[in-house]
Amino acid sequence: MNLSRRPRRLRELTAVKPMLKEFSLLKEDLILPVFVSDTCIEKVAIDSMPGVYRWSIEGLVEQIENWQNIGLHAFALFPCISDQKKCPEGKEALNPESICYKAVKEIKRRFSDLILIADLALDPFTSHGHDGILSASGKVDNDLTIEMLCKSALIAAQSGFDVVAPSDMMDGRVAEIRNALDKNGFHDVAILSYSAKFCSSYYGPFRDAIASSQNKPIDKSGYQLDPANFREAMLELRLDEQEGADILMIKPAEPYLDVIKAAKEKFSLPIAAYQVSGEYSRIWAAGKLGWLDVDKCAHESLTCIKRAGADLILTYFAERIAKSL
């Protein structure tokens, strides 16, 4: 055959491949989501998320040193509280002695060179499992919820969090949180906004992890994005940029690579992506059945998320992958 181009030539040159690799996954790209429980004495395994645990504060502080030693330096903390502390308004989110606020203080006492991210949402604290306060009609009240989030952001900043991450998808919350932080002198606390958070079926294991599972599925389509809507996602990203977000995030990650790519091209802010619990668990489930190689699939998935445009990736594979990088 008379071919002027034979792309396979370079693929056959094994030593050249690293030089031609367009994207490489780095430890510095990864943020590890961590669950902190006020009911744990030892770490407790989460059945639907193999290799992921709920931690006590003491256990977490000890474990962070191990994670640091393999090159992980950024952690997003999520609370798991007892049912007795939950209520319709999620008031435990405003308790300065709540589990994540206590945890960050202990971590900061021992470690000075970590980035700690506070999740701002009410679903771990509400008895009904929604991300906000419900109105008399049963819908999430946007403005009342934002008032709670602003107060929660201030407590998070006072406790020592470097970044607050509103994940609720309420309209206008980034501007209000930024204003509240700045008014109280927390100009250096950054906002990582869950800007395009889709109403996804991939969140189930996470709800197990924070003990927010209900007897019937919770319909969050009144505030989370329709998976079919690309332009609406672009609108949400643009609004959060205008309101003062420091980092824009898309969640879930791999099912929404087109949104990640477009966000990278359209916005000058760093782009984060959250490889969510369902993405993690489906790879593990197939691996346990012998259908897929867990490590290879995890690495491939994360590489594709980075290739699409993510500068930062929240992933439960962070520990496992960091050991291999």
Residues 267-305 pLDDT 10s: 999 999 999 999 999 999 999 999 999 999 999 999 999
pLDDT band at 100 (very low <50, low <70, confident <90, very high): very high
Is 289 a domain residue?
A: no
Is 1 a domain residue?
A: no
Is 19 a domain residue?
A: no
Identify whether 296 is a catalytic site residue.
no
Q: What's the mean per-residue pLDDT of the chain?
A: 96
| Among 85, 86, 220, 251, the one annotated catalytic | 251
- pLDDT of 208 reads 87
State the pTM of this model.
Answer: 0.95
- pLDDT of 214 reads 63
Cα–Cα distance for residue pair 325/39, rounded to 1 Å = 34
What average pLDDT does the segment 23-39 reach? 95
- pLDDT of 48 reads 95
Q: Name the token pair of 142.
A: 């946007």
Q: How many residues are listed for the chain in this entry?
A: 325
Number of domains in the chain: 1
Boundaries of domain holding 176:
24-247
Cα–Cα distance for residue pair 305/307, rounded to 1 Å = 5
Identify whether 197 is a catalytic site residue.
yes
Is 253 a domain residue?
A: no
Is 300 a domain residue?
A: no
Q: Tell me, what CATH number does 158's domain have?
A: 3.20.20.70
Q: Quick check: 164 and 177 in contact, CB under 8 A?
A: yes
Residue 141 has pLDDT above 80, yes or no: yes
What average pLDDT does the segment 56-72 reach? 97
Is 17 a domain residue?
A: no
Is 112 a domain residue?
A: yes
- pLDDT of 212 reads 76
Is 136 a domain residue?
A: yes
| Among 197, 220, 264, 306, the one annotated catalytic | 197
Which pLDDT tens digit goes with each residue over 174-233? 999 999 999 999 999 999 999 999 999 999 999 888 887 666 678 999 999 999 999 999
